[in-house]
Structure 1
Amino acid sequence: MVITLIILALSAFFFVNGKIRSDVVALCALVLLILCGILTPEEALSGFSNSIVIMMVGLFVVGGAIFQTGLAKMISSKILQLAGKSELKLFILIMLVTSAIGAFVSNTGTVALMLPIVVSMAVSANVSPSRFLMPLAFASSMGGMATLIGTPPNLVIQNALLEGGFEGLSFFSFTPVGIICVLIGIVVLIPLSRMFLVKKGEKKTENKSRKKSLKDLAYEYQIAQNLFRVGVKSDSTFRGKTLAELNITGEYNVTILEIRRESKSQNPFMKTIDQELAGPNTSLQIGDVLYVLGAFAQIELLTKDNNLDLLDTHTAEVSEEKVPHDMVFGEIGIAEVLLMPNSQLINRAVKDSGFREKYNINILGIQRGGKYLLQDLKDEKMHSGDALLVQGTWKDIARLNEVQSEWVVVGQPLAEAAKVTLDHKAPIAATIMILMIIAMVFDFIPVAPVAAVIVAALLMVLTGCLRNVEDAYKTINWESIVLIAAMLPMSLALEKTGASAMISSGLVSYLGDFGPIILLAGIYFTTSLLTMFISNTATAVLLAPIALKAALDIGVSPYPFLFAVTVAASMCFASPFSTPPNALVMSAGKYTFMDYVKVGLPLQVIMGIVMVLVLPLLFPF
C-alpha cells in the first residue's frame, strides 16, 4: 500500500508540475505498478479495453463529424443572431447555446467551435470579447453535466456504479444537475464578468460605434510600426533571384510579407498593381515593391548590402499616430490563430511549423500572456494557448479552418468569421447523432451504449461526414484517451492494496459522525481542490471508488456521493490550467491568472455549496 501511495504522490507531483505530458506520467505510473508487482500486466492493461475508453474514442469521432459538416456552427450562429445588439441577451444565449452543444460533444471541441462565432458577435455588438470568452469556457463544462456522454467524469462514475453492482445511470440522469449548473453559472457570471472581465481600456471602446478591423489587428501586433517598403532597383543583387535562393529570413532576421508589382494587363486605360504573397519560389523583378517586416536596423542593413531602395524611413519608435494608415488588404489579409492545448505545434519552433510549406501562410507575430513577440520569431518555440498573427490569401486562411484539432482561427475579419456554410452532409450527421442518442436513451433497444457510439462513429466515416479515416483519427484527443486508460488501473491498485479503504475510512471517521451532508461536502470540496492541480478525469478516476466506499461505510446511497465527484471534477473554474477550455480562451480573452481567481473561484465555491444542498434532494441518501 505504501508503494502505491508513493507512486500516486509522484504522479500527482508531475501532473501539477506540467513539464511532462499527463499521458506519459500516467503510463510511467502504470509501468511502476507492474514492476513493483502491485498489478499483473493483464490488470494494468485492462483500462485500454474498458468500455469508457472505447466510448470516448467513438464520441470524439462523432463530435468531429458534427463540427466538420458545419451542423453545430450553423445552429449556434443562427441562434446567437437572435440576440441582436443586446449585450445581456447575447451573454445568456452564448451560455445556453454553448452548454447545449457541450452536452453532446467534448468541451474543448465546443469552445473551438464557438470561439470565432462569439468574437465576431461580440465585436458586432460593440462589446469586448473578453466579457464572453471566459463564460464561454465555463459554459462548455457546465453543459457537459447534462448528459451521460457530456464529460469523461460522468462515464467514470457510471463505470464505478456498475463495477460496484449498482444500477447504472441513464442518458439523461444527469440533466437536472446540468440545468442547475447552467442556471447558477448564468446568475453568478452576469455580474462577475461585468465587474472583472471588461478591462478599463476596453470600456471606452464599447461606447464607440466602431468594429475591430484588419487595421486594428495590425496595430495591435505593432505590424505597422515595423513594416517597411523596399524597392528592387536595376542593379540590385535581388534581381532575378527567388526568395528561397536569397534566404532573407536566415540572413537578416526579417520577413518579406508580400510583393507588389505593376500589372501586366494590356488595358491602356487602367494601370493596376498586382498583390502577390511572398513565396519561396517567387522570382524578384526590377520595380518590385517588397513589404518587409522587421527591426529598422535590420532593414537598413538589408538595403545597403543588396543595393535596394528604402521607400520608408520611419523607425520602430515612431508613435502610432504618426505612422500613415496606408495598409491595404486586398486578396491578401491577416488573421489570428489560437493554438489548441493538444496541438502538434506546441514546443515546435516557428520555422518548423510548416505553415509556409503546407498552407502558404506567414507567421508575423505571437501573443503570449499579454505580451507580443515580433522579433527573432523563426527560432521561437510555440506554447499552448499562443495566439499567432498569420498572413496569407483569404483562400489559404480559410483552409486553416479544416484543421480544427490543431488551432482555431479567431481573428478573421468580421465578414469572414460570420460566414457559415452548411455542408450537404450535415443532415446525415444530424440523423446519425440522433439515432445514437435514441439507442442510448431507450432500454428496449437491444444495443449497448458503447456499441451505439462505435456504430455512430463508423457511420460518420462511411457516409462521408468525415473526409476519410485519417480525418477521423485526427479528431481523437489521444492524450485524454491514454490518460484515462492508464489511470483506471490506478484506482484498481488503490482498491487492491487497501489504500482506498484506508482513505475512505479516514473520511468517514473524521466526517461521518457529522452526518452524510458533511461527508458529502468533504468529498465534493476534496475533489474540487484536487481538480485545480490534476486533470478532472484523473481526479474522478481516483476519487469515485473512495466516494462509493465512504457512502457504503455509513450505510447510505452512493449516488449523491458519486455525483458530487463528477460535478466537482467538472466545475473547476479558478485556474486557467484546470481544464483545456479554460486555457484555450486565455490568450484570446487577454486574461491573467488573477482574472480566473476573481471570477472562477467565487463561482466554484457557490456551485459547491448549492450542489451539496441540492444533490441529496435529487438523489436521496
Structure 2
Amino acid sequence: MPITPDIILVLAVLFLVVLFFIFEWVRVDMVGIMVMVCLPLLGLVTPEQAISGLSSNAVVSIIAVIIIGAGLDKTGVMNKLARMILKFAGKDESKITSMVAATVAVISGFMQNIGAAALFMPAARRISTQTGVPASHILLPMAFCAIIGGTLTLVGSSPLILLNDLLVVRGVSYEHFGMFSMTPIGILLIVSALAYFRLFGRWILPHSKPGKVCGPLSPLLEKTYHNVGKIYEMEIPKNGFQEQCLSELQIRSNYACSVLASHNATTHKRNVAPRPEDTLCPGDTIAVIGEAMFIEKLAADYGWNILPEVKVFADDLAATNSGIMEGIVSPRSQLVGMTVGEIQLRKKYGVVPLAVFAGHEMIISDLSNLVVSEGTALLLHGKWSAFHQLKDQNDLVFTEPIQGELMRENKAPWALGCLAVTMFMILVLNIQLSIALLFGAAAMVLGRVLTIDEAYRSVDWMTVFLLAGLIPLGLAFENTGAAKMIADMLMNAVGVPSPVVLLTCIGLLTSFFTLFTSNVGATVLLVPLAMNLALSCGADPRTAAMTVALAASNTFILPTHQVNALIMRPAGLKAIDYLRAGTGMTILFMIVLVLGMQFFFS
C-alpha cells in the first residue's frame, strides 16, 4: 500500500502525541483537546468525527462509573468492607496482603482502579500501623492487583469500556463483547498475581521499615497539649465491679483521663463519645486517653486490665475515622457564658472534651463547671463526621482543616440498590452499557446519595477529555489507511505467525505503549492495528482486540500508571522497587494472558 500524504500527516500527529505523553510538555487532557482541533483542520477526519468522542458510549460510561463509585464511597460501603478485612486478616503478613489485594481487585472490576486503590489506601496504612507490616508490603501488591482487577469486567478499566466502540475494521462491525466475556482471564491474572507475591514477596518487595505509630495529637497541637497523653484500651473484669454510670466514676476529676468509647460485653455495641449517664458493666471494654501514670493508677484502683494494644476500637479510633481538633470559641458563639457541662458536647455533638486552654492556662480535670468565654480553646476528640457537623454550627473556629468528610451512611441501601439495578439492566435486560450506567449515576443524585455538584466534582475530567480526543485519532488511522499499512508492514516483517506468536507480539507491543502513554491511548491506537494484523493472518480480529484491551493493564515496571503513582509516596517506594517487583509480574501477566486467550477464545 503506497504511503499517502494523509498517512504521513496522521503518523506525524501520532509521533507528536507520543512525545507530548512522554515528556509531559502539557497535561494529557490538553493533548486530547489539541488532537480534536488539529485532525479536522488537517482534513484527516470530519468535524463530526472529531467531536464524536465526547458523546461516545465509552466516555459516557466512564463518567457514570466514576459517579457510582463516588456514591458508594460517600455512604461508607467501602469502609464497612475494609472493616471486615481488618476483622479476619489478623497479623499474618501474607494473609493481610492477599485479602487486601484480592478485595481491591474485585472492586476494581466494577469501578475505576484508581478509585478502588484510593479508597483502600487509608485502610491499608492503618493495618500497617496496627500490625507492624511495612506499608510497602501491603500497598504495592494492592496497587498491582487494582490494575489487574480492571480486567475482570467490561466496565473495569477504560480500555475495556472503550473496546466495543473500536470493533470496526475495514468497514465491518464485529460482535460486541459482553459484561463478563473477559472474566475468566481476569480471574486467572488475579490468582497468578496473588500467588506471585505469596511465593516471591520476601525477595521482590522492598525491605522497608514499618511506619511509626503516631500519637493522637497533630504536631501543631503537640506543643500546647503535650501532656494530654495517649489512647489506651482497658478491660473491666467480669467479677469485682458493680455496674456504674460514668458520672459516678468521676474518672476525669480523679485521674485526669477521658473515656473516648465503650464496648458492651453483652450487646456487643460500641459507643463512641459515651455520655455521663451511660453505664459501664462487668466485662466491658473502654478506650481512655490520658498520661500513663494516671492510666496505671486508674487500673490499679478499680482492678481493670490495660490491654497491650487498641484492638476493639481499632477502627473507630483510627486516624482515618476520628481524631483530635482544637476549636476556638467565636465572638458571636452561643456557647459564650455556658459551662462545658451545659454545652453537652458528648450528647449533642458526639465529641469528647479533653482539655480547655483559657488565657495562659491549660485545664484537663474538672471541666464541667468551667465557664466558656470568647477565645477559649477547647480540645476535642471525636469522629471526623462529628466535627464536620459541629463546624456547621459556627460556634467554633477550628485551628486545623478537618479530615474526612460528612458521610451519608443512611443512604447505603439506596446506593447498593442503584448498583444492583444497574447490573440487572446490563446483564438481564441487555440495555446499552452507557445508558444503564447513566441511570445508576442519575439515581445516586436523585436519591440524594450525592448532590449534583459532588457528582460533577467526582468525575475525572482529565480522563474524559483525553479519551474524547484520542477516539478521533483512531478514526483517522482507519480513514487514511495508516492502520492497514502498518499491519501490512509488520506482516511482511514477521511473515505469517502462529496465533500464539501473534497474540504475544500484540501483547508486548501494547504493554510497551502503555508504559509511556496512557492505556486509553494505547488501546485506541493499537486495536485497529491488531485487528488488521489478525485479518491478514487469518486469525480472529476480536481475539486480537481483546488482547490489546487486556494487555493495556500490563504496566508494572514503572510508576507511570496512576495507581502506581498514587502509592509511591505513602509506601516510601522508589523507581527501582517497581522494576524489581514489576519485571516478574509483567512476564507472568503476558504468559497467563496469551495462554488464557488461546484457551477461552480460540
TM-score (norm 1): 0.67
Which residue of 1 is the match for residue 426 of structure 2?
A: 440
Q: Which letter maps to 1:440?
A: I
Alpha-carbon deviation of 1:266?
8.2
CA distance in 1, matches of 2:24, 2:112: 22
How has the CA–CA distance of structure 1 residues 332 and 169 changed in structure 2, closer, same or farther, with 3 Å as cutoff?
same
How has the CA–CA distance of structure 1 residues 265 and 448 changed in structure 2, closer, same or farther, with 3 Å as cutoff?
closer
Alpha-carbon deviation of 1:260?
10
CA distance in 1, matches of 2:570, 2:138: 11
1:128 touches 1:198 (CA, 8 Å); kept in 2? Answer: no
1:532 and 2:533 aligned: no
1:583 and 2:565 aligned: yes
1:508 and 2:491 aligned: yes
Match of 1:331, SS? strand
The counterpart of 2:173, out of the listed 146, 165, 175, is 165
CA distance in 2, matches of 1:498, 1:260: 69
CA distance in 2, matches of 1:45, 1:260: 53
How has the CA–CA distance of structure 1 residues 5 and 264 changed in structure 2, closer, same or farther, with 3 Å as cutoff?
same
Which residue of 2 is the match for residue 476 of structure 1?
A: 459
2:136 touches 2:208 (CA, 8 Å); kept in 1? Answer: no
The counterpart of 2:434, out of the listed 432, 450, 467, is 450
CA distance in 2, matches of 1:193, 1:479: 35
Cα deviation digits, residues 87-114 of structure 1 (max 9, x gap): 2211111111101111111111101110
The counterpart of 2:415, out of the listed 401, 413, 429, is 429
- Coordinate RMSD, CA, aligned: 3.2
Which residue of 2 is the match for residue 616 of structure 1?
A: 598
Alignment of 1:207-286 (within 5 A): 212-214=213-215
Q: Which letter maps to 1:183?
A: V
The counterpart of 2:581, out of the listed 599, 602, 605, is 599
Which residue of 1 is the match for residue 184 of structure 2?
A: 176
CA distance in 1, matches of 2:87, 2:167: 42
Cα deviation digits, residues 543-567 of structure 1 (max 9, x gap): 0111111111111112321122112
Alpha-carbon deviation of 1:118?
1.2
1:8 and 2:57 aligned: no
Q: Which letter maps to 1:435?
A: V
Alignment of 1:374-393 (within 5 A): 391-392=400-401
How has the CA–CA distance of structure 1 residues 500 and 185 changed in structure 2, closer, same or farther, with 3 Å as cutoff?
same
Alpha-carbon deviation of 1:198?
4.2
CA distance in 1, matches of 2:581, 2:354: 51
CA distance in 2, matches of 1:584, 1:479: 16
1:548 and 2:548 aligned: no
Alpha-carbon deviation of 1:265?
9.4
Which residue of 1 is the match for residue 57 of structure 2?
A: 51
Q: Which letter maps to 1:545?
A: P
1:492 and 2:475 aligned: yes
CA distance in 2, matches of 1:45, 1:129: 44
Alpha-carbon deviation of 1:197?
3.0
Q: Which letter maps to 1:582?
A: N
1:108 and 2:114 aligned: yes
2:474 touches 2:528 (CA, 8 Å); kept in 1? Answer: yes
Match of 1:146, SS? coil
Alignment of 1:114-129 (within 5 A): 114-129=120-135
Which residue of 2 is the match for residue 342 of structure 1?
A: none
Alpha-carbon deviation of 1:123?
2.1
CA distance in 1, matches of 2:470, 2:379: 52
Which residue of 1 is the match for residue 449 of structure 2?
A: 465
Structure 1 unpaired stretches of 5+? 206-210, 230-256, 277-284, 290-328, 336-356, 363-390, 403-420
1:74 touches 1:422 (CA, 8 Å); kept in 2? Answer: no
The counterpart of 1:331, out of the listed 380, 399, 402, is 380
Q: Which letter maps to 1:500?
A: A
CA distance in 2, matches of 1:538, 1:213: 42
Q: Which letter maps to 1:518?
A: V
Q: Which letter maps to 1:121?
A: I
How has the CA–CA distance of structure 1 residues 39 and 89 changed in structure 2, closer, same or farther, with 3 Å as cutoff?
same
How has the CA–CA distance of structure 1 residues 125 and 330 changed in structure 2, closer, same or farther, with 3 Å as cutoff?
farther
How has the CA–CA distance of structure 1 residues 215 and 431 changed in structure 2, closer, same or farther, with 3 Å as cutoff?
closer
CA distance in 2, matches of 1:11, 1:275: 59
Alpha-carbon deviation of 1:451?
1.4
CA distance in 2, matches of 1:436, 1:127: 38
Q: Which letter maps to 2:593?
A: M
Alpha-carbon deviation of 1:45?
0.8
CA distance in 2, matches of 1:514, 1:610: 19
Which residue of 2 is the match for residue 185 of structure 1?
A: 193
2:426 touches 2:433 (CA, 8 Å); kept in 1? Answer: yes
Which residue of 1 is the match for residue 147 of structure 2?
A: 141
The counterpart of 2:207, out of the listed 194, 199, 206, is 199
1:87 touches 1:127 (CA, 8 Å); kept in 2? Answer: yes
2:101 touches 2:143 (CA, 8 Å); kept in 1? Answer: no
2:109 touches 2:150 (CA, 8 Å); kept in 1? Answer: yes
Aligned residues: 453
Match of 2:26, SS? coil
CA distance in 1, matches of 2:158, 2:423: 17
Cα deviation digits, residues 207-238 of structure 1 (max 9, x gap): xxxx71227985xxxx89x9699xxxxxxxxx
Q: Which letter maps to 1:455?
A: F
Cα deviation digits, residues 315-367 of structure 1 (max 9, x gap): xxxxxxxxxxxxxx9537999xxxxxxxxxxxxxxxxxxxxx9x9777xxxxx
Which residue of 1 is the match for residue 102 of structure 2?
A: 96
How has the CA–CA distance of structure 1 residues 273 and 532 changed in structure 2, closer, same or farther, with 3 Å as cutoff?
closer
Cα deviation digits, residues 288-323 of structure 1 (max 9, x gap): 79xxxxxxxxxxxxxxxxxxxxxxxxxxxxxxxxxx
Structure 2 unpaired stretches of 5+? 1-6, 226-324, 330-335, 341-352, 363-377, 385-393
Cα deviation digits, residues 387-444 of structure 1 (max 9, x gap): xxxx55xxx2233xx5xxxxxxxxxxxxxxxxxx7711111111111111121112xx
Alignment of 1:401-416 (within 5 A): none
CA distance in 2, matches of 1:137, 1:530: 20
CA distance in 2, matches of 1:52, 1:462: 23
Sequence identity percentage? 28
Q: Which letter maps to 2:464?
A: I
How has the CA–CA distance of structure 1 residues 95 and 217 changed in structure 2, closer, same or farther, with 3 Å as cutoff?
farther
1:511 touches 1:519 (CA, 8 Å); kept in 2? Answer: no
TM-score (norm 2): 0.69
CA distance in 2, matches of 1:71, 1:615: 34
CA distance in 2, matches of 1:583, 1:360: 35
